[in-house]
Amino acid sequence: MITSDTEMMRHITTVILDLDDTLWDLPLVIGHAEEAIYAWFSEKYPRIKERFSIIDLRRLRENIVLEYPAQGHDLIFLREQTYRRLAQMCGYDESLCEEAVAVFQRARNEVILYADVQPALRSLSQSHRLLALTNGNADLSAIGLEEFFDGVYTARDLGWAKPDPKVFLAVCKHAGVEPKEVLHAGDDPLNDIEAPRAMGMVTVWVNRRDRVWPADLEPPVHEVSDLTHLAVMLNS
């Protein structure tokens, strides 16, 4: 599905794309990574498996997030603190957290791309400047998509997370573009549509699952069901 006025796209020079749940299924990716780190703990640090299930580890991380509200934008820091706390609780040296984070990150980057992603990115990168902006910590180099992007910006690197306006201003300043030249596309109604729209960007809601738009937000002007439709919208 495409809903748009393509004439409104003529001035767009730069496309900023969200990553998680826009290029791949995030719950599937995180579930895989959680299983991988749990298997690693079971082999290397068996007392962890004796005391904690995967669900227990997830709850522990949720509690850590609440303990460090000022670090909510830094998911790697939060995971490090989770694994450090886990080591303390199970009588292991805290140094295990560094390797544990590396194990989790390797699995976290073993994503299954939506089928439309690579062809659409190839098309978009030939006609527009592509940037990635994410609250997550995916590594596009490890995933094999880095070639399509002129820049990758993470909440951890910027110091703020979407929907904070400072995120979008920082990316525009670093990339040397005005918000009015930018199209921002992603799956999250607040983070990827409402927030950048308030900064003067054109926004496109990538609605892969036929979701219902939140009633408390102004409806999206542009909506697509995948990135193929986004490429058509921009290049027609």
Query: pLDDT tens across 186-231, in order?
Result: 999 999 999 999 999 999 999 999 999 999 999 999 999 999 999 9
Half-sphere exposure of 201 (CA within 13 A, CB side): 30
CATH 3.40.50.1000 fits 2-24+111-235, yes or no: yes
Measured over all CA atoms, what is the biggest interatomic distance in the chain, rounded to whole angstroms? 63
Quick check: 3 pLDDT over 60? no
Task: Give the domain ranges of the chain.
Answer: 2-24+111-235, 27-108
- For the segment 99-112, the average pLDDT, to the nearest whole number, is 98
CATH 3.90.1200.10 fits 27-108, yes or no: no
3-state SS, residue 23:
coil
pLDDT band at residue 236, thresholds of 50, 70 and 90? confident
pLDDT band at residue 10, thresholds of 50, 70 and 90? confident
Residues contacting residue 29 through CB under 8 Å, at least 6 positions apart: 20, 108, 110, 111, 112
